[in-house]
A and B are shown apart, each in its own frame.
Chain A
Amino acid sequence: MRRWGALVLLLVVAMAASLCLGVRPVSLSEAWQAMVAPDWSDPAHVTILSIRLPRLLAGLVCGAALGAAGMAMQALTRNPLADPGILGVNAGAAFAVTFGSLLLGRADSGVLAVLAFPGAAVASVVVFGLGGGLRGDATPVRLTLAGAAFAALLLSLISAVVMMRGDTLEVVRFWIVGSLAEAAARPLTAMTLAALAGGLLALALAPRLEALALGAALARGLGTRPGSTQAGVLVAVTLLVGAAVALAGPIAFLGLMAPPIARRLVGGALRPGLLAAAVIGASMLLLADTLGRLVFAPAEIRAGVMTALLGGPAFVLIARRLGPGASA
């Protein structure tokens, strides 16, 4: 219980920091005033309501979705290196958005955001299949290499599109490195609902997924159908990652870092793990975003860069812990 208290405290601190810190610092009481009694002639209130609050909400949804998606993917693939960024799901979503903006011209961001879902879905199925997941013999090395190769292919194609059409560069630059800076212009309500649906589906499937981790034969004996469970989890991951990408672009490594911390705090069970990973993911993204706003103020470091700076070394740490048996 104390650990859940610590998690909630972490989240509250991250939310307060995200609301109050920035180029123009705002005190907590002033932020509260802005929310309960908005005064649109006060620039501090405008900052809070039209910039920081949407950003905070987008960060909450996006970070929680990525943390939970990472947890679900790691349970599904039994791979501690699984992450929507590493397994190419982010790249799939970004690819779909890029080609959408090429074909539709300067369509509104709501239409483009929806394209993130089919992109994420196709990429997650392709990488899962190429990595041997459908045959049930995926290993961390297979999945990671398949994901890295698929992401490299998609990123090359994205770069080619960007160079072909100069005007897509400004649209696409945003999608390559994720950030919360443009959150105010994103379809927040719809994406929150999508992420919620994905999260609930993952929570509902958690017991079956745990049974599946015992092996396909044993899972069948326990009354679980492996195929439909895998498909359901992929749908959940797609909803979670698609919503996150639509809100903030591809943010890598949150899904890698949140689950091990969550497991350490609340143990190995999947349902509490999903919740804890969501809280940790949201806190980390908000802190990364706030830090990125402060370090080189008034210039910003995009949140995706901040998480990747942490996540690359984290990936190395986890990879070297895998024994030769896990990687061979």
Chain B
Amino acid sequence: MMRTLVLLALLLVATALALLLGQVPLSVGALWQGLAFGDGPAALTVRVLRAPRVMTALGAGASLGLAGAIFQSLFKNPLASPDVMGFTAGSGLAILAAITAGLALPLPVIAAVGGVAAALLVAFAAGRPDEGITATPALTVVLVGLGVGFTATAINGFLMTRLSGPEAAEAQRWLAGSLSARDFGHGVEIMAIGGALALCLVPQVRALRLLELGPDLAMGLGLSLARARYGLAATGIGFAAAAVAVAGPIAFVALMAPPVGARLLRASDPGARLAAAAGAGAIITVLADLAARALVPGLVLPIGIMTGILGAPYLLWRLSREMERGDL
């Protein structure tokens, strides 16, 4: 209980800091006046610039955290997150391709198609023909996913050369993962899609709990393994795609959020761990975005660069720890 409160408090503090700080720091009074009444000197900054941005960051971060938690739990491997395995790269590629081709479909749909295609490709390429993806060692899936990600990145590089100068600069920002110039539409979009997916996830928590007992026991307790796994994987891809659609393929949040959440909450139940991962993802994303826009005066970096600088050392540290324990 205590730890849940700590997590919530951290979330609130991160949100408040993200609203207060930036290229122009605000006072608490000005923030309140601008946010609640829409007047005062800070109204424009708060209502048009910061609040939509923070809302989008919260939703995208929570979605990425949940996506990471689902896949890490499914594969029982801390490295099996949708960003390491190339799913978010697939979503990013689909959106860039749609922009290049001038295709007018809603971004979440395109991102979902790309994410599903990348996931199917990974499953198809990594799966042993006789047993399918579920019998494949998690690390083989991770490696194949990295390869699919490399390929998507290469095609992105190719598409970038097909765009004109300003288009390319914009696409470059977008591909790094950026929360610049978000409006409330983006915030509402990610909150609505994320909320709907969370409702789908709730009844599946029981399946996740059973799966963690091991496939034999889960089957004995009446779980249809294939259905449960595909349902969870589809939900996870949905979360990742929804986040990519509003914020671009932000790296490493899905990888970092679940273990950070688990450390904060110290929960062993899958349901609580999912909630903790969502909270941690939101906190990481909001703070990383704050750092990206407030750290260097006069310069707003894309958030993806900041999560890359934070997340890559984390992945390296994680690798060395897995190696010490002999798990890798």
A residues at B contact (CB < 8 Å): 81, 86, 130-132, 137, 139-142, 144-146, 148-150, 152-153, 155-157, 159-160, 163-164, 177, 252-253, 296, 299-302, 304-305, 308-309, 311-313, 315-316, 319-320, 322, 324, 327-328
Number of interface residues of B (CB under 8 A): 43
Contacts of B148 in A (CB 8 A): 312, 316
Closest to B255 in A: A149
Which 9 interchain pairs have the tightest Cβ spacing? A312-B151, A156-B308, A308-B154, A153-B312, A316-B147, A315-B147, A319-B143, A149-B315, A312-B150
CB nearest neighbor in B for A310: B154
Some 10 contacts from A to B, beta carbons below 8 A apart, are A137-B323, A149-B312, A152-B311, A156-B306, A305-B161, A308-B157, A311-B154, A312-B152, A313-B147, A320-B125
Contact A327 B147 (CB under 8 A): no
Bound-state CA distance A227–B305 (Å) is 37
The answer to whether B154 and A324 touch across the interface, beta carbons within 8 angstroms, is no
A145 touching B308, Cβ below 8 Å: no
Once the chains bind, are A81 and B319 in contact (CB under 8 Å)?
Answer: no
Q: A150-B316, A160-B309 are in contact. Are A327 and B143 (CB under 8 A)?
A: yes
Q: What's the least CB distance linking B119 to chain A, in Å?
A: 14
Are A328's CB and B296's CB within 8 A? no
A163 close to B302 (CB less than 8 A): yes
Contacts of A311 in B (CB 8 A): 150, 154
A159-B150 CB under 8 A given contacts A149-B319, A299-B161, A320-B140: no
A328-B323 contact in complex given A309-B151, A309-B158, A311-B154, C-beta closer than 8 Å = no
**Measuring CB to CB, which residues of chain B are less than 8 angstroms from any residue of chain A?**
79, 125-126, 137, 139-140, 142-144, 146-148, 150-155, 157-158, 161-162, 176, 251-252, 296, 299, 301-302, 304-306, 308-309, 311-313, 315-316, 319-320, 323, 328
- Which of A152, A312, A320 touches B126 (beta carbons < 8 Å)? A320
**Which residue of the partner chain, among B152, B157, B305, contacts A156 with CB atoms under 8 Å?**
B305
**Highest count of chain B CB atoms <10 Å: which of A140, A302, A304, A319:** A319
B173 to chain A, nearest CB (A): 8
**Bound Cα distance A152, B252 (Å):** 10
Q: Which of B150, B299, B319 sits near A308, CB closer than 8 Å?
A: B150
* Assembly CA distance A305 to B313 (angstroms): 27
Query: Are the C-beta atoms of B308 and A177 separated by less than 8 Å?
Result: no
Contact of A309 with B154 in the complex, beta carbons under 8 Å: yes
Q: Are A142 and B323 in contact (CB under 8 A)?
A: yes
CB pair B140 A148 closer than 8 Å? no
Measured CB to CB, the nearest residue on chain A to B154 is A308
> Once the chains are docked, how many angstroms separate the CA of A305 from the CA of B144?
20
* Residue from the list B139, B154, B328 in contact with A312, Cβ < 8 A: B154
What is the bound-complex CA distance between A324 and B143, given in angstroms?
11
Query: Is B157 a contact of A141 with CB atoms below 8 Å?
Result: no
Known A130-B316, A144-B146, A315-B150; contact A324-B157, beta-carbon cutoff 8 A: no
Chain A residues whose C-beta falls within 8 Å of the C-beta of B305 in the assembled complex:
156, 159-160, 163
Closest to A324 in B: B137
CB neighbours (8 Å) of B176 from chain A are 159
**Residues of B close to A327: CB separation below 8 A:** 137, 139-140, 143
Least CB separation from A135: chain B residue: B323
Q: Are A324 and B309 neighbours in the complex by a CB distance under 8 Å? A: no
Contacts of B126 in A (CB 8 A): 319-320
A319-B319 contact in complex given A141-B328, A163-B301, A324-B137, C-beta closer than 8 Å: no
| CB-based A-B contact count at 8 angstroms | 136
Query: For B319, what are the chain A residues with a Cβ–Cβ distance below 8 Å?
Result: 130-131, 142, 145-146, 149
Contact B323 A144 (CB under 8 A): no
A131 proximity list for chain B (CB < 8 A) = 319
Residues of the B chain whose Cβ atoms lie less than 8 Å from the Cβ of A155: 308
Q: Measured between C-beta atoms, what is the minimum distance from A11 to chain B in Å? A: 25
A327 to B145 Cα, complex, angstroms: 14
* Cα distance, A322 to B148, chains bound together (Å): 16
Q: Does A153 contact B154, Cβ atoms closer than 8 Å?
A: no
Check A177 against B157 for contact (C-beta < 8 Å). Answer: yes
CA distance A146 to B306 in the complex (A): 19
- Collect the chain B residues with CB atoms within 8 Å of residue A139's CB: 328
From B121, which residue of chain A is reached at the shortest CB distance?
Answer: A316
Give the distance to chain B from A104, nearest Cβ to Cβ, in Å.
Answer: 21
Nearest Cβ on chain A to B162's Cβ, whole angstroms:
8
Q: Shortest CB–CB separation between residue A285 and chain B, in angstroms?
A: 15
Shortest Cβ distance from residue A327 to the other chain B in the assembled complex, whole angstroms: 4
Interchain CA distance A81-B147 in the complex, whole Å = 10
Are A319's CB and B316's CB within 8 A?
Answer: no
**C-alpha gap A133/B155 in the complex (Å):** 32
Residues from chain B with a CB closer than 8 A to the CB of A301 are 158, 161
Residues from chain A with a CB closer than 8 A to the CB of B252 are 152
**Of A132, A153, A160, A302, which contacts B161 at CB under 8 A?**
A302
Minimum C-beta distance from B306 to chain A (A): 8
How far apart are the CA atoms of A305 and B157 in the complex, in Å?
A: 6
Residue of A nearest to B173 (CB): A163
Tell me, in angstroms, the Cα distance from A69 to B253 when the chains sit together. 34
Cα distance A309–B152 when bound, in Å?
Answer: 9
Cβ-neighbour of A305 out of B150, B154, B302 (below 8 A): B154
Smallest CB–CB gap between A296 and chain B, Å? 8
**Residue in B closest to A140 when the chains form the complex, CB atoms:** B143
Chain B residues whose CB sits within 8 angstroms of the CB of A137 once the complex forms: 323
Complex alpha-carbon distance, A302 and B159, angstroms: 11
Nearest CB on A from B193, distance (A):
27
Contacts of A159 in B (CB 8 A): 176, 302, 305, 308
On chain A, the residues within 8 Å of B313 by CB distance are: 149, 153
CB distance from A163 to the nearest CB of B (A): 6
B114 to chain A: closest CB distance in Å? 15
Complex Cα distance, B158 from A309, in Å, reads 9
Is A148 touching B146 in the complex (CB atoms < 8 A)?
yes
Q: Which of B158, B302, B304, B313 is the most central at the interface, judged by chain A CB atoms within 10 Å of its CB?
A: B158
Selected from B139, B161, B299, B301, the residue in CB contact (under 8 A) with A328 is B139
State how many angstroms separate the Cβ of A95 from the closest Cβ of chain B. Answer: 12
